[in-house]
A and B are shown apart, each in its own frame.
Chain A
Amino acid sequence: MQTDPSKMTAPAKPPIWNDPVYRGIFFQILVLGAVVLFGLYIFDNTTANLERQGIASGFGFMETTAGFGIITHLIEYSEESSYGRAFLVGLFNTLLVSFIGIVLATFLGLFIGIARLSSNWLIAKMATIYIEVIRNIPLLLQIFFWYFAVLRSVPAPRNSVELADTFFLNNRGLYSPAPIFESGFSAIPIALLIAIVAVILLARWARKRQEATGQPFHTVYVSTAIIIGLPLLAALATGMPLSWEYPELKGFNFVGGLVMIPEFVALLLALAIYTAAFIAEIVRAGIQSVSHGQTEAAYSLGVKPGVTLRLVILPQALRVIIPPLTSQYLNLAKNSSLAAAIAYPDLVSVFAGTVLNQTGQAVEVIAITMAVYLTLSLTISLFMNWYNSKMALVER
């Protein structure tokens, strides 16, 4: 038996294979090694396979002529354009449908979310049914439904469904008047820009004044007046430089106006209706998360209902609403890739579909497509983290 006091006091050093530090290093080297080896193996196989199949590599193909048409494009595009151009067309189409989809879904979701909390039993139940039905049916099925079952069965151009002689719905798409910007129109957006800057400055000044003197200022009314009034003044001053081109039935189809192709309409409807169901639940949860005591406290302080909503309930509800809402926006943008199923020319359909089939350069094409979506997701995540840190409750 050892009784040497010097050996008792000195803590026994664990053997090196039991030391957490060395174990950690060893384990990490092992994992890293495995990942690197796996990557090398795949890289090796891929290069060998590409060589054997005679597929070129590199991003040179982006300059080559695409040679296929795209039914709807926001930027100049023809069959002589390059693959790079086709990529941009697809990207812009994705962004377009995502943006409009997000706006529509937000309004519809907000509306249904509030309806679900309505004191009116019928309205609340109808909103609940909407949510429960829509969000439990796959989005792709809904896209198919709108595209194949609804929009395919609308009449031909001659018997279009029309609304006030300005909007026409037929199996070629949804026609609406197109704005024509005449000379001098640029004054209106400039006026709008000035108005927005003015409103921001005004809001800052009003907040400072209220903090310093306690005097509130009617920022909302004045801002509305400025935002509407200034562009209106500009329009009047330049003599209304905006006219509308109405779609007209000529021969078998409509000419002129703005046309939204059925693929776009179907995708947009499905995305907006589907996402709205989720947004409605988020809005409901957000509003319910603010305890009723907050409202009662505000009322007992003599704050008016409208002001209570704006200054007490909404700021707290938004803290709960915004994070899941952004992730829904992100989902909508990612779900817009389902366009490939009905051949709306979005990024996936044009680039990962047609371009990939034509060039065969799977690795590059898929990598670019994924990179686009990843950039989008990471940007939104970064924004979210920034927002969360800004909005997080500052606790004592």
Chain B
Amino acid sequence: MNDTTQRYAPGEHPDMPPPVTAVGAVGWMRQNLFSSPLNVALTLIGLYLLWLLVPPVIDWAFLNADWFGTEREACTSGGACWVFINMRMDQFMYGFYPAEQRWRVDIAFLIFAACIAWLLIPRLPGKNKVGIFALFIYPIIAFFLLSGGSFGLEHVETPKWGGLMLTLVIAVVGIVASLPIGVVLALGRRSQMPIVRSICVTFIEFWRGVPLITVLFMASVMFPLFMPEGVNFDKLLRALIGVMLFSSAYMAEVIRGGLQAIPKGQYEAAEALGLGYWRMMYLIILPQALKMVIPGIVNTFIGLFKDTTLVLIIGLFDFLGIVQAAATDPKWLGYSVEGYVFCAFVYWCFCFGMSRYSIHLENKLHTGHKR
């Protein structure tokens, strides 16, 4: 009796397992890596590139690296010298902020992180209150905490601010201030009143048309000229105003996108209910429009976060600025790559995290507005 040639009645043939080459790891590889001669070649080229790149990098960054020590001399193995980062960590985080006052920075950012976490976790209640606190009350608390000068806190001048703390301050101030200004500008641009509209269009197009660096140059050399004699304003404040003007123009365009996406029926319905312009905007239009453009706002924030590095050109020591300064320090000369890699890693974590969040939001919000 021969099993392999056994005959079955029609329809009674038992299911056979799929061929080995079509399932499992082999099947997957055949389908995704070696499906055609071209793909075989591409896979081989890709593997070669990986082989060229990955082992040396891992070797340099982990296997051959020096992690512990306090001196340059501790770096002997020829790989990355993370001792440099270790030793300069405090400076990278706080700049020249006095060491005994750094708890103030910690507290300010803990509150901030708590607010953000509260807003991001969907289950927690009272989002409106936390949002209002974060937008309006928190900046005042943070200002007094960081700058000091009252409530028994020692005053810390802004030239001493630096590192990641300064980067976050600039980015957060830029985004928080640009939201309300951006809303006003976007409303103005969509307004029926020709003068208001043209003023808003000019403002938006002007700031969007010039690079941030010229805005910062302008802020640092021209703002002092704009002020009456005797008024002296802080370099950081000037940079902040420049960043604010710049980002509010971009924010206005993002919000305008949301306003344009609101169907005309919403406006008409609001008017039919007898709502005036401001109440229509506040109660009907803006809540919908802003919700729709949250991903856009997050993307603007990512752009702004990366752009804060430019303040080093006008002489502020933000995170990149302080890493750059440390890398040119004669004591640690030759370890700039470690500095840049660390810096890139930190920026990447922030930006990638935010972009993931924005994608998550896009997926979440998408369902509600599909027509």
Contacts and interface: CB of A to CB of B under 8 A. Distances in A.
Contacts of A370: 209-210, 214, 218
A140 B312 contact: yes
Contacts of A46: 222, 225-226
Contacts of A27: 193, 196
A47 to B, nearest CB: 9
Contacts of B32: 119-122
Interface in B302-352: 302, 306-307, 309-310, 312-313, 320, 324, 327, 336-337, 340, 343-344, 347-348, 351-352
Given A119-B35, A137-B344, A138-B306, A334 B210 contact: yes
A148 interface: yes
A49 B340 contact: no
Contact of A373 (B192, B214, B302): B214
Contacts of A126: 46, 49-50
B343 A141 contact: yes
Q: Which 6 A/B pairs are nearest by Cβ-Cβ distance?
A: A377-B209, A121-B32, A136-B351, A334-B211, A138-B306, A28-B195
Nearest to A118: B42
Contacts of A233: none
Interface stretch (A78-86, A305-313, A336-344): A336-344
Nearest to A366: B218
A271 interface: no
A356 B214 CA distance: 12
B213 A337 contact: yes
A363 B223 CA distance: 10
Nearest to A132: B352
Interface of B: 32-33, 35, 39, 42-43, 46-47, 49-50, 192-196, 199, 205-206, 208-211, 213-214, 217-218, 221-222, 224-229, 302, 306-307, 309-310, 312-313, 320, 324, 327, 336-337, 340, 343-344, 347-348, 351-352, 355
A45 B226 contact: yes
Contacts of B39: 119-120
26 contacts: A24-B192, A45-B226, A52-B229, A121-B33, A123-B42, A136-B348, A136-B352, A136-B355, A137-B306, A137-B344, A137-B348, A138-B306, A141-B309, A141-B343, A141-B344, A141-B347, A145-B344, A148-B327, A149-B340, A341-B313, A366-B218, A366-B221, A366-B222, A369-B214, A373-B214, A374-B210
Contacts of A363: 222, 225
Given A120-B43, A334-B211, A352 B307 contact: no
The size class of the interface chain A forms with chain B is 35 or more
A36 to B, nearest CB: 10
A148 B343 CA distance: 14
A334 B313 CA distance: 15
A149 B302 CA distance: 25
Nearest to A47: B225
Interface string A88-122: 00000000000000000000000000000011111
Given A145-B340, A363-B225, A374-B210, A120 B313 contact: no
B222 A31 contact: no
**Dominant secondary structure of chain A at its interface with chain B:** helix
Contacts of B199: 31-32, 35
A49 B229 contact: yes
Contacts of A219: none
Given A340-B313, A341-B312, A133 B348 contact: yes
Contacts of A139: 306, 309
A141 B199 CA distance: 36
A50 interface: yes
Nearest to A31: B196
B217 A352 contact: yes
A141 B340 contact: yes
Nearest to A142: B344
Given A32-B195, A120-B42, A137-B347, 10 more contacts: A31-B195, A35-B199, A48-B229, A137-B306, A137-B348, A137-B351, A140-B312, A144-B320, A348-B214, A369-B217
Interface of A: 24, 27-28, 31-32, 35, 42, 45-46, 48-50, 52, 118-123, 126, 132-133, 135-141, 144-145, 148-149, 334-335, 337-338, 340-341, 348, 352, 356, 362-363, 366, 369-370, 373-374, 376-378, 381
A119 B343 CA distance: 34
A341 B307 CA distance: 13
Interface centre among B206, B324, B348 (most CB of A within 10 A): B348
Contacts of B337: 145, 149
B33 A122 contact: yes
A135 B47 CA distance: 23
Contacts of A50: 225
B222 A374 contact: no
A140 B218 contact: no
B236 to A, nearest CB: 18
B343 to A, nearest CB: 6
B324 A144 contact: yes
B69 to A, nearest CB: 22
B330 to A, nearest CB: 15
Contacts of A140: 309-310, 312, 320
Contacts of B313: 338, 340-341
B222 to A, nearest CB: 5
Nearest to B215: A370
Nearest to A339: B213
Given A352-B214, A373-B210, A374-B210, A24 B355 contact: no
B196 A373 contact: no
Contacts of B226: 42, 45-46
Contacts of B327: 148
Contacts of A121: 32-33
A149 B340 CA distance: 8
Contacts of A377: 205, 208-210
Nearest to A38: B226
Contacts of A149: 336-337, 340
A138 B46 contact: no
A326 to B, nearest CB: 14
Contacts of B229: 45, 48-49, 52
Interface-centre pick from B211, B225, B313 (highest chain A CB count, 10 A): B211
Contact of B214 (A123, A132, A366): A366
A352 B256 CA distance: 33
A301 to B, nearest CB: 25
A374 B206 contact: yes
A34 B243 CA distance: 23
Contacts of A341: 312-313
Contacts of A135: 351
A335 B193 CA distance: 35
Given A32-B195, A148-B336, A334-B210, A138 B42 contact: no
A137 B306 CA distance: 7
